[in-house]
Amino acid sequence: MNYPKSKSYEGLIKGKIMGPNPVKLTEELLTIVTIPKGSRVLDLGSGQGITSVFLAKEYGLNVTAADLWSDPAENTAFFASCGLTEKEIQAVKADAADLPFAEETFDAVVCTDSYNYFGRDPDYLEKHLLPFVKHGGLVLICVPGMKKDCHDYLPEALLAAWTPEQLDYIHDAEYWKNLISKTDGITDLSVFVMESNTEVWEDWLLEDNEYAKGDRKAFDAGGGKYLNFVGILLKRA
């Protein structure tokens, strides 16, 4: 697909992304739904903040970048280097399971390539995330997926890069639909296979770090044919 807004981020993503190109994945979600300019948005599991910058600059959103593993001071410095002020974007160290915000703070949540770390808990969405979203607010999620769950007979190509425990973070659209549709307090749920796949993986596999090098083993062995991306859109009722 075409990613007109992500094009100008090709240089900026280098060394910043922590998985398949999250800027392109986020752009795809935002071709399907619109978050009005000026909305207060939580970028959950924002990593080193590249999607947070993208949301603030390209969509005029007021972004809180919340992440567990990255350093908020480094992210704040990155945001400033991109010409963004703390009024426009804030970095917070936070565990998705224990978010430090007041109830109904956010107009929307964007969660790119992170939800699979904490959202497989069937209670997560209702108990730990929805309370911070305004009623009627949007939640946009995308996760690396499997075309068909095959955890009982994992292909060697996937095992070339990942352990069965790591592969348990990756599931098919059916799995996510079953899990999320049981949540009370949501409406307008849509779970779908995204168009982004090969291209966003390729951007990641070109990165020069140990994680990308490790992931390449699965793709070199032909494992890409088992994988896709799953998009999940919903609103708080």
Ligand X SMILES: C[S@@+](CC[C@H](N)C(=O)[O-])C[C@H]1O[C@@H](n2cnc3c(N)ncnc32)[C@H](O)[C@@H]1O
Residue in this structure with the two tokens 């007979």, named with its chain if needed: 153
Minimum distance from CB of 46 to ligand X (Å)?
Answer: 6
CB neighbour list of residue 62: distance below 8 Å, 6 or more residues apart: 38, 39, 40, 41, 56, 87, 88, 89
Q: Please answer whether residues 180 and 232 qualify as being in contact, where contact means their C-beta atoms are separated by less than 8 angstroms.
A: yes
Minimum distance from CB of 77 to ligand X (Å)?
Answer: 17
Closer Cβ to ligand X, 3 or 153, answer by number? 3
Closer Cβ to ligand X, 191 or 212, answer by number? 212
Minimum distance from CB of 20 to ligand X (Å)?
Answer: 7
Closer Cβ to ligand X, 212 or 234, answer by number? 212
CA separation for the pair 123, 128 (Å, rounded): 8
Closer Cβ to ligand X, 135 or 230, answer by number? 230
The CB-nearest residue to ligand X is 47
Q: Please answer whether residues 184 and 126 qualify as being in contact, where contact means their C-beta atoms are separated by less than 8 angstroms.
A: yes
Supply φ then ψ for residue 27, to 5 degrees.
-60, -40
Minimum distance from CB of 197 to ligand X (Å)?
Answer: 15
- Which residues are at the interface with ligand X (CB under 6 A)? 17-19, 22, 45-47, 50-51, 67-70, 95-97, 112-114, 117-118
Task: Locate 234 and state its tokens.
Answer: 């919903």
Q: What is the DSSP letter of 171?
A: B
Minimum distance from CB of 143 to ligand X (Å)?
Answer: 10
Closer Cβ to ligand X, 101 or 117, answer by number? 117
